[in-house]
Amino acid sequence: MAVINTEHADTLRLRLREGGTVLVDYGAPWCPPCQTLLPTLEELDEEYGSSVTILKVNCDVLPELAAEAGVMGLPTVIVYNGGQPMEKLVGLRPKSAYQGVLDRFAAANSR
């Protein structure tokens, strides 16, 4: 699988309804920390494979999704499990921070 660029609000809503662990990166192309985060997301996608879905939301194109998620700063990464937001990480974090959150929820889903 690959990091999915969300082009329509329904794409995100459908993925969340499907359940499982979904990491959503709320960012913008003009945001340097958001650009720095992209290679980390691609690495996480390779590491977690089908156990985690990774989506990118461009907050300039889909501001309604950012508002619904309560995004106040970029990048904001929210990990959803079973369609519910479980963890919100605001600002650029080390890869290990994202791994720690994903390990908790992706492991629970694989049992």
Kindly state the greatest CA–CA separation across the chain: 40
Q: Which residues are catalytic?
A: 31, 34
Task: Name beta bridge partners: 24.
Answer: 55, 78
Residues 6+ apart with CB under 8 A from 46: none
| DSSP three-state, residue 7 | coil
Residue 79: CB atoms within 10 Å: 21
